[in-house]
Chain A
């Protein structure tokens, strides 16, 4: 049998149900994996004692015949989710010492389903980044290495610690958040399945806010089935989040029929970018062939406003961030840097507590919302957002799902692209449109580059139709047969 820390969510669940091992044994294996993988810097806070307590409680529940959907499964939690009694930092100096007195709805749902918390994962500060290089707690290393190249690579971001933890086989699954692609992009470059559900599917309550009209929680896993299982436990209506939608949560696992016959899959021509690496273009063609071979029909579609999604995002997201991050003032929680007056105390605290990327975005947001520029920038971007959603709405009149590459490149080395914010922003070019339009998107690992690094394909679905999206993703997963392992696997 595979080592316990290398099992998928589904395999661990089935093994636990058959009594092949206990939740305590499974959790112990993950704790040892977490310790052995410390050089990756995937975790900000490890919670091994809490994990073992939760695992023992899970074993006791199972003994009584009570088992939830994730009973006994150890998970890594992005440090953006508030966890009661456990340090929550959002990767920022400004949240120094913040111990939430409450639990986020998504994590509470996971614990109610029986899951076990291993620890809190590293991330770009306030989820702002695509490479996990803006964390106050240091860079995260990708467990993958290029062939013949020993440079440490980025794991993607902002959910980089979660991605590294799952790719390195520390945990079978992790939570992430996706504001502009920061579940799907790290999943693509670490060889994982990463999914952003429809906006409103998962409660944002208790998740440290970045850009509230875009943020959505989702799972990072090593397979599509695991992604379906985790979402079923995370999702659901929550009166504490006014944008959480009150509709039933389907059985996502049951959606994985493997049958895509008759489905129409849109291939948007605007995602064929100048300068896109041939390998990504070829992978996309493979994806089209795989779906056609499985009985789907592919249809060329146009999403004419695609090129404006990224600039619109870089107005809307900083604007919302500048408002959301106003709460970090050195008064109620976290870091305080003294000042002679209240304003000086605010300025000193925020000047020292925020990193460069966060300051840049808060200032851009402040500028585009300031008197005289609000209409030219912020309202303009919101109008463009309406056009981007309209593109998708029209496309979905004719197709059931859309297939695109997930990211414009494979993992790059830590230190590359750091001096040019816009070059870094381009990592999210294929993922941002789904955030702006609220649609669900999933990245499936589909191939290795010539250099031995993973690449993903993205499926975008209709709003609240994660089921069709998952079904298509499952067929891509089967056809791709991706089974490569990263250079670093915990415990090997």
Chain B
């Protein structure tokens, strides 16, 4: 499966990364060379092999369903590029 310029534009859209038109051709080449190289995994028969979910056998610990944090709105928005009245500010989403 080869990645072409239009696939690059599609992936870039999914990843929310602006890729200028002039860069798409070169990027398609780079992605193809990486994908071509990882294709060698196809040599391996992995039928019946379970995909790894965790390297260490652990049961995830449960915690009490209780509030353990909060009440720090100003800290939460302190790093925001734009905030208003304790909210994150973004371009208008709903007309």
User: Which residues of chain A come closer than 8 Å to B75, judged between CB atoms?
Assistant: 101
User: Which residues of chain A come closer than 8 Å to B93, judged between CB atoms?
Assistant: 342
User: Which residues of chain A come closer than 8 Å to B44, judged between CB atoms?
Assistant: 305, 308, 384, 387
User: Which residues of chain B come closer than 8 Å to A348, judged between CB atoms?
Assistant: 18
Q: Of B8, B58, B82, which is in contact with the most chain A CB atoms at under 10 Å from its CB? A: B58
Within the complex, the shortest CB–CB distance from A253 to chain B, in Å, comes to 24
In contact, B17 and A347 (Cβ under 8 angstroms): yes
Distance A457 CA – B52 CA, assembled complex (angstroms):
28
In contact, B90 and A311 (Cβ under 8 angstroms): no
Distance A329 CA – B80 CA, assembled complex (angstroms):
11
User: Which residues of chain A come closer than 8 Å to B18, judged between CB atoms?
Assistant: 347-348, 350-352
Within the complex, the shortest CB–CB distance from B70 to chain A, in Å, comes to 13
In contact, A314 and B34 (Cβ under 8 angstroms): yes
A residues 290-318 with Cβ under 8 Å of B? 305, 307-308, 311-312, 314-315
Contact flags (1/0) for A341-385 with B, using CB distance below 8 Å? 111111110111010000110111011001001000101111111
Also in contact, A389 and B80, with CB within 8 A (given A350-B18, A364-B31): no
Also in contact, A308 and B41, with CB within 8 A (given A200-B56, A384-B46): yes
In contact, A383 and B55 (Cβ under 8 angstroms): no
Distance A352 CA – B93 CA, assembled complex (angstroms):
22
Also in contact, A311 and B80, with CB within 8 A (given A383-B46, A387-B49): no
Q: Does B33 contact A (CB under 8 A)?
A: yes
CB-CB nearest in chain B for A390? B49
Range for the number of chain B residues in contact with chain A: 35 or more
User: Which residues of chain B come closer than 8 Å to A480, judged between CB atoms?
Assistant: none
In contact, B91 and A245 (Cβ under 8 angstroms): no
Q: Does A485 contact B (CB under 8 A)?
A: no
Within the complex, the shortest CB–CB distance from B91 to chain A, in Å, comes to 5
In contact, A354 and B34 (Cβ under 8 angstroms): no
In contact, B61 and A239 (Cβ under 8 angstroms): yes
Q: Does B50 contact A (CB under 8 A)?
A: yes
User: Which residues of chain A come closer than 8 Å to B61, judged between CB atoms?
Assistant: 239, 242, 246
In contact, B17 and A359 (Cβ under 8 angstroms): yes
A56-64, A158-166, A332-340, A404-412 - interface stretch: A332-340
> Do most interface residues of chain A lie in helix, strand or loop, or is the interface mixed?
helix
User: Which residues of chain A come closer than 8 Å to B30, judged between CB atoms?
Assistant: 360, 421
In contact, A333 and B33 (Cβ under 8 angstroms): no
In contact, A332 and B90 (Cβ under 8 angstroms): no
Distance A341 CA – B34 CA, assembled complex (angstroms):
33
Also in contact, A367 and B35, with CB within 8 A (given A305-B44, A350-B17): yes
Q: Does A482 contact B (CB under 8 A)?
A: no
Contact flags (1/0) for A72-110 with B, using CB distance below 8 Å? 000000000000000000000000011101000000000
Within the complex, the shortest CB–CB distance from A391 to chain B, in Å, comes to 12
Also in contact, A362 and B17, with CB within 8 A (given A339-B91, A340-B91): yes
Distance A307 CA – B43 CA, assembled complex (angstroms):
11
Q: Of A200, A245, A348, A386, which is in contact with the most chain B CB atoms at under 10 Å from its CB? A: A386
Contact flags (1/0) for B30-63 with A, using CB distance below 8 Å? 1101110110111010100111111110101101
User: Which residues of chain B come closer than 8 Å to A385, judged between CB atoms?
Assistant: 51-52
Range for the number of chain A residues in contact with chain B: 35 or more
In contact, A386 and B49 (Cβ under 8 angstroms): yes
CB-CB nearest in chain B for A340? B91
Q: Does B81 contact A (CB under 8 A)?
A: yes
Distance A438 CA – B54 CA, assembled complex (angstroms):
9
Distance A198 CA – B3 CA, assembled complex (angstroms):
37
In contact, A329 and B41 (Cβ under 8 angstroms): no
Contact flags (1/0) for A263-283 with B, using CB distance below 8 Å? 000000000000000000000
Q: Does A43 contact B (CB under 8 A)?
A: no
User: Which residues of chain B come closer than 8 Å to A463, judged between CB atoms?
Assistant: 55-56
In contact, A245 and B80 (Cβ under 8 angstroms): no
User: Which residues of chain A come closer than 8 Å to B7, judged between CB atoms?
Assistant: 367
User: Which residues of chain A come closer than 8 Å to B42, judged between CB atoms?
Assistant: 380
Q: Does A422 contact B (CB under 8 A)?
A: yes
Q: Does A213 contact B (CB under 8 A)?
A: yes
Contact among B35, B58, B63, B79 with A98 in the assembled complex (CB-CB below 8 Å)? B79
Also in contact, A359 and B56, with CB within 8 A (given A367-B31, A387-B44, A387-B46): no
Within the complex, the shortest CB–CB distance from A125 to chain B, in Å, comes to 14
Q: B: which residues have CB within 8 A of A?
A: 1, 3, 7-8, 11-19, 27, 30-31, 33-35, 37-38, 40-42, 44, 46, 49-56, 58, 60-61, 63, 72, 75-76, 78-82, 88, 90-91, 93
Q: A: which residues have CB within 8 A of B?
A: 97-99, 101, 198-200, 213, 239, 242-243, 245-246, 305, 307-308, 311-312, 314-315, 322, 326, 329-336, 338-348, 350-352, 354, 359-360, 362-364, 366-367, 370, 373, 377, 379-387, 389, 421-422, 436-438, 463
5 more A-B residue pairs beyond the given contacts A331-B90, A350-B18, A436-B55, with a C-beta to C-beta distance below 8 A: A99-B78, A334-B81, A342-B91, A344-B91, A359-B19
Listed by A's residue number, 15 A-B pairs whose Cβ atoms lie within 8 Å are A101-B78, A239-B63, A311-B38, A312-B38, A332-B79, A341-B91, A342-B91, A343-B16, A351-B17, A364-B31, A367-B31, A379-B51, A380-B42, A421-B30, A422-B33
A-B complex: 4 closest residue pairs judged by Cβ atoms: A438-B55, A351-B18, A382-B51, A336-B81
